[in-house]
Amino acid sequence: MGIKTTARYATVWAIVLGMAFPFLIMLSTALKGPNEIFAAPPKLLPHEWNFASFGDALNAMPFWRYLGNTLLVSGLCVVGSLISCPLVAYSLSKLHWPGRNVVLVLMLSTMMLPPQVTLVPLYLLWDKLGLVGTYLPLVIPSFLGTPFLIFMLRQFLMGVPDELLDAARLDGASELRVYASVVLPLARPALATVAVFQFVWSWTDFLNPLIYLNDSSQYTLSIGLYNFFSEHGVDWGPLMAASVMFTLPALVIFLLGQRHFVEGIATRGLK
């Protein structure tokens, strides 16, 4: 290998190590016994593998219940987004109606809105509807569409030739039928990306569950972990063990969808 090639690999590997380092510390702390965690100077890897922290984490909080709750909320949000976003994206890309560009610009400009502006009124709205303390304030918004995801799908659908749809329309298919039997199957890769994005967002969300869930039996993992920290303070072993178990599902979903995802954005852009 020439010097240039070596330098390239060295650069790339330095970046990879830097980015992976916090993951490594999270995992190794989860696998260390209490004596090893508070050792100065710290060791990179546990001298002796100790799985007790995982047991402690599972005992200190109803971890599986929180995991189930988080899965339920994230799953419902994915369903919501998969129903609503393509409908709106189709309207804004393939139904040539007057005013669609106004709606598009309006939608994009709402992405600039700080969520703090609607924080109080939205809370009062859900409160008036008697839904604070249920999952509905976390789930219903996804059934009404998320601008970023709608825009992504719209950009994808813009690339679908109109002739394809017109052929189906000439065969007498209704617009709903064209949508269901032509557009949705074509958009499958983009829909996979939508599902991954939505899942990861809901899985990792903190502020909304913090505001809307008040019964500890309903907590998602974000709030469970937050409460664990409040109650036990810095009990790093179990905290990192719970963190590993909390991060893993998002990681798996991401790696499954990875092909459509990073490489997709990196090579095509969000066009």
Partner 1 sequence: MRRKATRAAGSRRRLWLGLAFASPWLLGFVALVAGPILASGYYSFTDFNLFQSPTNVGFANYQELLHDERFGQALANTLILTVVGVPVSLMLALLLALALNLRVRGMPFYRAVVYLPTIVPIVVTTYVWRWLLNAQYGWINRLLGLVGLPQPSWLEDPAFTKPAVILIGLWTVGGTTVIYLAALKNVPQETYEAAAMDGAGPWQKFRAVTWPALSPVTLFQLIVGVIASLQLFTQPYLLAQNRLNGAAGGPDDSLLTYGMYVFQNAFVFLKMGYASALAWVLFLITMAVSAGLLLTSRRWVHYGN
SS (H, E, C) the chain: CCHHHHHHHHHHHHHHHHHHHHHHHHHHHHCCCHHHHCCCCCCCCCCCCCCHHHHHHHHHCCHHHHHHHHHHHHHHHHHHHHHHHHHHHHHHHCCCCCCHHHHHHHHHHHCCCCHHHHHHHHHHHHHHCCCCCCCHHHHHHHHCCCHHHHHHHHHHHHCCCHHHHHHHHHCCCCHHHHHHHHHHHHCHHHHHHHHHHHHHHHHHCCHHHHHHCCCHHHCCHHHHHHHHHHHHCCCHHHHHHHHHHHHHHHHHHHHHHHHHCHHHHHHHCCC
Minimum CB separation of residue 251 from partner 1 in Å reads 7
Q: Which one, 110 or 181, has the nearer CB to partner 1? A: 110
**Minimum Å distance from CB 192 to partner 1?**
15
User: 3: how many CB neighbours lie within 10 A of its CB?
Assistant: 7
- Nearest CA to 50 out of 28, 32, 73 is that of 32
Nearest residue (CB) to partner 1, 65 versus 103: 103
Q: Between 78 and 145, whose beta carbon lies closer to partner 1?
A: 145
Q: What separation in angstroms does the CA of 131 have from each of 14, 71, 126, 223, 225?
A: 49, 20, 5, 18, 24
The Cα–Cα gap between 9 and 198 comes to 34
Nearer Cβ to partner 1, position 164 or 245?
Answer: 245
**CB nearer partner 1, residue 42 or residue 68:** 42
User: Cβ of residue 138: shortest distance to partner 1, in angstroms?
Assistant: 13
Min dist. Cβ of residue 125 to partner 1 (A): 7
Identity of the residue, 158 or 255, whose beta carbon is nearer to partner 1 in the bound complex: 255
Q: Whole-number minimum distance, CB 51 to partner 1, in Å? A: 19
Q: Residue 262 CB, nearest distance to partner 1 (Å)?
A: 5
Residue whose CB is less far from partner 1, 127 or 162:
127
Q: What is the nearest approach in angstroms of partner 1 to the Cβ of residue 159? A: 16
